[in-house]
Amino acid sequence: MRSPIQLQEKFRARFGTPAAIYRAPGRVNLIGEHTDYNDGFVLPAAIEFYCWVAAASRADRKLVIHSENFNETVEANLSSISALNKNHWGNYPLGVADKLQAAGKRLNGQSLLISGDVPLGAGLSSSAAIEVAAGFALLKQSGCNINRAELAQLCQKAENEFVGARCGIMDQFIACYGRASFVILLDCRSLDFQSAQLPPGVQLVICNTMVRHELASSEYNRRRAECEEGVRALRMVLPDIRALRDVTITQLENHCALLNPTVYSRCRHVITENDRTQEAFRALYSSNLGAFGRLMRDSHRSLRDDYEVSCKELDLMVEIASAQPGMIGSRMTGGGFGGCTINLVEAAAVDAFRQSVVAKYHAQTGLKPEIYVSPAADGVQQVDIKAGGAMHGPAS
């Protein structure tokens, strides 16, 4: 983990003033995939990988933002923020500043130094981490009250409209509301949530396949469109539904003739995944890890066969992991087409799990996977530099 003191020293060397330090976490989703944009349920945890932001107010109305990861500085005037080239990292903080202002927040000019340790492009939400860290820092530095739900929504809006990725609310929400040792069951329609503690003796083990398929964003948008098509068709007979969240599996089966086979399969994934996610939360709550593991397995199969967002490397990683001693459950996590799997593993078995998975995956693919073991972490916060630790931001 990067030290906040080091970051402050780098800030002083670049901008000549002391800085306040903020950080927001990446995330891993235990179950509930491709359900958030269908008004459904997700079960993520924040992880101990962060986007760090050092910030100090400026006398002018500028945002001057330096990225350590890209070794590049961007500048914008708060009264006229426009997007940079597509895929530019600067669009994340600039987009958030733009949406905060559009929502009536009066921001001051700021110098920001951004440094992230969430693996990029691995499906662990480095983008939500930078959005939420930057948004929280800008609000705090400008003396604005922080409402975490509103911050999550404005960061999502920035990603949808400024960056141009049609993501749901899950990643930004958990970056705001993560809680150490807890997973969060989020209702993506009402934004109500409940938390459940991960049992002691069980660890979250994330296996990075080290592949990223180019198709990810176009296929993501296509899946969203297929879900919308399903809702439109089903509304002819179920006029009250607003999203796939409102459809039961029996209703889907009864009206399957209205849907083409692909749209039917997509809907079946979303509807069964919503059920699995709520059931998984109950299983975790009652410490029924056997049931939780089976639901993770079923989720992976549904994502592979019905939603078709897995790939051969993710399937292989799940297959290898599932055969290891101490394994509770394994599935792909995040948008898919590469990235990571999430594994619940008994703590005592984690070292052997790591060695065996790395060796077997490498032998079959030639790729060296990265394995991250992380406790569930807290959401965005300001870091207290003097104490060298972290302190919570306002709990609003």
Contact range with ligand GLA by CB under 6 A, out of 31-39, 96-104, 133-141, 248-256? 31-39
Using the CB atoms, write b or e for 207-224: b if 16+ within 10 Å: bbbbbbeeebeebbeebb
Per-residue contact flags (x/-) with ligand GLA for residues 239 to 258, judged by CB under 6 A: --------------------
- Which of 19, 30, 36, 360 touches ligand GLA by CB under 6 A? 36
Active site residue 171: yes
Which residue in 36, 171, 298, 306 is the catalytic one?
A: 171
Identify which of residues 342 and 344 has a Cβ nearer to ligand GLA in the complex: 342
Q: Are the C-beta atoms of residues 37 and 26 closer than 8 Å to each other?
A: no
Who contacts 347 (Cβ-Cβ below 8 Å, separation ≥6)?
201, 202, 203
Contact range with ligand GLA by CB under 6 A, out of 57-65, 132-140, 167-175, 177-185? 167-175
Contact range with ligand GLA by CB under 6 A, out of 99-107, 165-173, 195-203, 313-321? 165-173
Instruction: Report helix angle 170-177 to 148-157, nearest 10.
Output: 150
Identify which of residues 34 and 66 has a Cβ nearer to ligand GLA in the complex: 34
Q: Does 119 bind ligand GLA (CB under 6 A)?
A: no
- Which of 47, 94, 137, 170 touches ligand GLA by CB under 6 A? 170
Per-residue contact flags (x/-) with ligand GLA for residues 304 to 343, judged by CB under 6 A: ------------------------------xx--------
CB of 265 to ligand GLA, least distance (A): 17
Q: Does 379 bind ligand GLA (CB under 6 A)?
A: no
CB of 37 to ligand GLA, least distance (A): 6
Instruction: List the interface residues with ligand GLA, window 84-103 (CB under 6 A).
Output: none
Q: Does 168 bind ligand GLA (CB under 6 A)?
A: yes
Contact range with ligand GLA by CB under 6 A, out of 33-41, 63-71, 227-235, 244-252? 33-41
| Residues with active-site annotation | 171
Which residues would be at the binding site for ligand GLA (CB under 6 A)? 33-34, 36-37, 167-168, 170-171, 334-335
